[in-house]
A and B are shown apart, each in its own frame.
Chain A
């Protein structure tokens, strides 16, 4: 096969950026060739997000140069970058839930007729793009009614309508199901054929083999590896991980088994209504037991009810919950998170910034929040015991920070998650409900989290691990439960399940297809 002469669509030359004391980018140079899907890997804090922000005009102050189609450019704003055909689709989409799909797609560029919005053309053009992206929605649907996956594709379509040359996708699959991920990959492949260059940032390394032509690995603000996927002979994830951390893949899930004791958490005929009235119940008659020292993995695709189980156990589900809950064998009523905490339950939410952290406040304010009564004597906070405890956890969990007074928003995802974990460890709970504990967490910190789970189970805590990261569930759980449409449809002991089997059950295709297999 002869490789066509590739023209660089975009070039980054010696870009250097500092945030206060942190050197985020150390003279990075990179070439993005036209029509490639260029994956960029690296731990949180490796500099990849910063680089993408420079490239998409979010950060305007830096040293170094950018070139688009061979011409030097310097973007002062996002609009500037978009005018040159560079579009960023961020992890947390900037959609306007109240707008209709068509209005969002052409926001600020509505087709006009006699000075008014040409509604007919607006809906027609939108319908065209919806069909191009094979979406099952209407131009007049509200953006807020769409699934994350659909919102994402509409965001990409929005870039397409404005003549995108370089499309930057930041963790596009973080909140997608496997099936939606496949659909997204198909669309990305089509974009390629139209000559669009895609820059793809992800923590899910196994996706690179499937989607990328080129991989660049960053570490500590520099490029540490760069290769075409075709050269690796199918061993992309391993090579990327080696470059990222210098650690072997087999160490990813350092699972150790603990001796299993009495049941700590029992759910009997546990049901929960959907938080949107009129929808079918989110959880239907689930029976579930987590024993002391045990890690129970609850896997389910989005909408399976697995997250609702987690939230309802913590008293945080915002609709009717029925069934019996026992803690250490005793029936308990948990109506609010306060009740749950009183019974020794801790909850690590999947939506860290929305549910777990006060991003504008300091590390210490966040860590101490759930355990303030423990630190107070006679109604006043005992700063000495508070600060000593916080110090102990920042050291033990290796939270990378300049001081405990540093605002949470300045930390990387992994370190933020460590702060959430410390907040709960300070309450000394017996039962941990972990929801997507390693979402958006870099590889090194992930392993540290798994080691934390090990040490918790060894000290006799019960852990309910609710995750949509299948390798994680299989790698860390003593028992794996699969949920589908609000019910637990199958259970395996550790080591018995394969990814394919679990996925079949989770997708609700375990009936005939299993017999056939």
Chain B
């Protein structure tokens, strides 16, 4: 009796597993790890359209380098924003805290005459302290992150204005290296190739782990397809950078930040726990997760990125206007959300946010190439945000009920 029951239930589970192999394309696309594909498709379409409308100006190496400088700050911050939003928090302070970091960098290098590395150190430390300040109020004093960072948005902006007397100060010339320098073409090619190799090896490792656990993993979907796709992008990047000035330093910084934050989220227990905290805080706590510790670390990490973004900003503008970066926080959140990060927590990827940032800045850049006023850029980005989230909600809503 029991025996026969066992066998039937086993055959049942086997046959249902077999049935799952015949999955439709839409089912595949709605899986989290393929959510990037439609976004990349949209990005390519937008690029081609802009290329046509600007008469070939958009995809010229010169403009791509320029675009990369614009994207870099948003992308770096968006990577941090994903780390915060995955466990269910938000940062509204970016515009003010990044501008304040830029002011600190300018002050340190000109008023106090610090050299390059001490300036970098001071700026990053300043950002870190701001991040810890946020972490303290959120994790230990239990004030919602929305409020804590909104308070900073107001207070830190005011503080920058007080410190600088509302004047724009300029950094010393050696700071400008951060936005102006490029890796030489050969080094650029090597860096890009190494990243592609690392990505390929990680995908291969994942596939082997799945196979060793008896999961019928498809080599094509898990390894071949993503490796080839990323390979094409990397090849394009190598060709572009070698025909112009090499890989701009801001792009190298973005790649490093995305690789580190993305790696933390995907491959470490720490990152997994962030998803759990955002998915169900109570269950995460009951699984033994020290939520306070995790949140403090994440805010501290975000603080370091304030400093990094501040350095990139001051180098890009060659000055530190205390009013710089107005509305930056909303662009960053929009980039993360377009990239599939949930405002409710529990869902999101750094790669998605980076592509989201690229998508938004491409629109802005392309439209300014066409000499459209920035108000039109706003309209376009707003609509893209709305439709991106709508498509995402629809894609998930159609998959069965609760």
Chain A residues close to B by CB (< 8 Å): 19-22, 53, 58-59, 245-247, 251, 314, 316, 336-338, 340-342, 347, 349, 354-361, 365, 368-370, 372-373, 375-376, 379-381, 383-384, 386-388, 390-391, 398, 400-405, 409-410, 423, 444
Is B210 close to A, CB under 8 A? yes
Evaluate contact between A398 and B10: CB separation under 8 angstroms.
Answer: yes
Evaluate contact between B213 and A338: CB separation under 8 angstroms.
Answer: no
Taking CB atoms, residues of chain A closer than 8 Å to B20 are: 21, 402-403
Question: When each residue 1-29 of chain B gets 1 if its CB lies under 8 Å from chain A and 0 otherwise, what string results?
Answer: 11001000110110011011010000100
List 9 contacting pairs A-B, 8 Å CB cutoff, sorted by A.
A361-B275, A369-B272, A376-B268, A381-B268, A384-B209, A398-B9, A400-B16, A402-B16, A409-B402
**Residue among A370, A372, A388, A404 facing the most chain B CB atoms (10 A cut-off):** A372
Is B269 close to A, CB under 8 A? yes
* Complex CA–CA separation, A337 to B212 (angstroms): 33
The 7 closest A-B pairs by CB, nearest first: A358-B279, A387-B213, A402-B20, A372-B269, A383-B209, A384-B209, A341-B288
Name which residue of chain B comes closest to A347, CB basis: B286
Evaluate contact between A354 and B282: CB separation under 8 angstroms.
Answer: yes
Query: Given A21-B19, A387-B209, A398-B13, do A358 and B346 touch, yes or no (CB 8 Å)?
Result: yes
Evaluate contact between A349 and B13: CB separation under 8 angstroms.
Answer: no
Name which residue of chain A comes closest to B24, CB basis: A20
Taking CB atoms, residues of chain A closer than 8 Å to B212 are: 384, 387-388
With beta carbons under 8 angstroms apart, the residue of B12, B214, B283 that contacts A358 is B283
Evaluate contact between A369 and B400: CB separation under 8 angstroms.
Answer: no
Task: Report B67 CB to chain A, min CB distance, Å.
Answer: 34
Name which residue of chain A comes closest to B22, CB basis: A21
- Known contacts A365-B279, A410-B400, then 11 further A-B pairs from the complex at CB < 8 Å, ordered by chain A residue: A354-B283, A355-B286, A358-B276, A365-B275, A365-B276, A369-B272, A370-B287, A372-B273, A381-B272, A398-B13, A409-B402
Taking CB atoms, residues of chain A closer than 8 Å to B206 are: 383
Evaluate contact between B17 and A355: CB separation under 8 angstroms.
Answer: no
With beta carbons under 8 angstroms apart, the residue of A336, A379, A402 that contacts B19 is A402
Name which residue of chain A comes closest to B396, CB basis: A360
* Complex CA–CA separation, A316 to B284 (angstroms): 12
Question: When each residue 184-213 of chain B gets 1 if its CB lies under 8 Å from chain A and 0 otherwise, what string results?
Answer: 000000000000000000000110111011
Query: Given A365-B272, A379-B268, A381-B268, do A337 and B346 touch, yes or no (CB 8 Å)?
Result: no
* Complex CA–CA separation, A359 to B279 (angstroms): 8
Evaluate contact between B279 and A337: CB separation under 8 angstroms.
Answer: no
* Complex CA–CA separation, A176 to B346 (angstroms): 33
Query: Given A20-B27, A380-B268, do A369 and B210 touch, yes or no (CB 8 Å)?
Result: no
Is B31 close to A, CB under 8 A? yes
Evaluate contact between A384 and B283: CB separation under 8 angstroms.
Answer: no
Query: Given A387-B212, A391-B215, do A316 and B402 touch, yes or no (CB 8 Å)?
Result: no
Evaluate contact between A247 and B276: CB separation under 8 angstroms.
Answer: no
Task: Report B33 CB to chain A, min CB distance, Å.
Answer: 9
Name which residue of chain B comes closest to A311, CB basis: B286
With beta carbons under 8 angstroms apart, the residue of B12, B288, B347 that contacts A360 is B347
* Complex CA–CA separation, A341 to B285 (angstroms): 11
Question: When each residue 308-344 of chain B gets 1 if its CB lies under 8 Å from chain A and 0 otherwise, what string results?
Answer: 0000000000000000000000000000000000000
Is B66 close to A, CB under 8 A? no
Task: Report B21 CB to chain A, min CB distance, Å.
Answer: 9
Task: Report A436 CB to chain B, min CB distance, Å.
Answer: 15
Name which residue of chain A comes closest to B347, CB basis: A360
Query: Given A379-B268, A398-B9, do A360 and B205 touch, yes or no (CB 8 Å)?
Result: no
Taking CB atoms, residues of chain B closer than 8 Å to A365 are: 272, 275-276, 279
CB-CB contacts below 8 Å: B79-136 with A: none
Task: Report B293 CB to chain A, min CB distance, Å.
Answer: 10
Query: Given A21-B16, A365-B275, A369-B276, do A405 and B401 touch, yes or no (CB 8 Å)?
Result: no
Task: Report A112 CB to chain B, min CB distance, Å.
Answer: 35
Name which residue of chain A comes closest to B16, CB basis: A402
Taking CB atoms, residues of chain B closer than 8 Å to A381 are: 267-269, 272
Task: Report A22 CB to chain B, min CB distance, Å.
Answer: 8
Is B289 close to A, CB under 8 A? yes
Is B280 close to A, CB under 8 A? yes
* Complex CA–CA separation, A375 to B208 (angstroms): 16
With beta carbons under 8 angstroms apart, the residue of B12, B208, B346 that contacts A384 is B208
Evaluate contact between A404 and B13: CB separation under 8 angstroms.
Answer: no
* Complex CA–CA separation, A401 to B399 (angstroms): 15
Is B167 close to A, CB under 8 A? no
Is B290 close to A, CB under 8 A? yes
With beta carbons under 8 angstroms apart, the residue of B12, B19, B210 that contacts A400 is B12
Evaluate contact between B17 and A402: CB separation under 8 angstroms.
Answer: yes
Evaluate contact between B17 and A356: CB separation under 8 angstroms.
Answer: no
Query: Given A337-B286, A379-B268, A398-B10, do A387 and B16 touch, yes or no (CB 8 Å)?
Result: no
Taking CB atoms, residues of chain A closer than 8 Å to B1 are: 247
* Complex CA–CA separation, A368 to B268 (angstroms): 12
Task: Report B217 CB to chain A, min CB distance, Å.
Answer: 10
Taking CB atoms, residues of chain A closer than 8 Å to B5 are: 245-247, 444
Task: Report A394 CB to chain B, min CB distance, Å.
Answer: 9
Query: Given A19-B400, A373-B269, A380-B268, do A314 and B286 touch, yes or no (CB 8 Å)?
Result: yes
Taking CB atoms, residues of chain A closer than 8 Å to B13 are: 398, 400-401
Task: Report A460 CB to chain B, min CB distance, Å.
Answer: 23
* Complex CA–CA separation, A58 to B12 (angstroms): 28
Task: Report B395 CB to chain A, min CB distance, Å.
Answer: 13
* Complex CA–CA separation, A175 to B389 (angstroms): 38
Evaluate contact between B215 and A403: CB separation under 8 angstroms.
Answer: yes
Evaluate contact between A423 and B287: CB separation under 8 angstroms.
Answer: yes
Evaluate contact between A20 and B209: CB separation under 8 angstroms.
Answer: no
With beta carbons under 8 angstroms apart, the residue of A19, A245, A338 that contacts B290 is A338
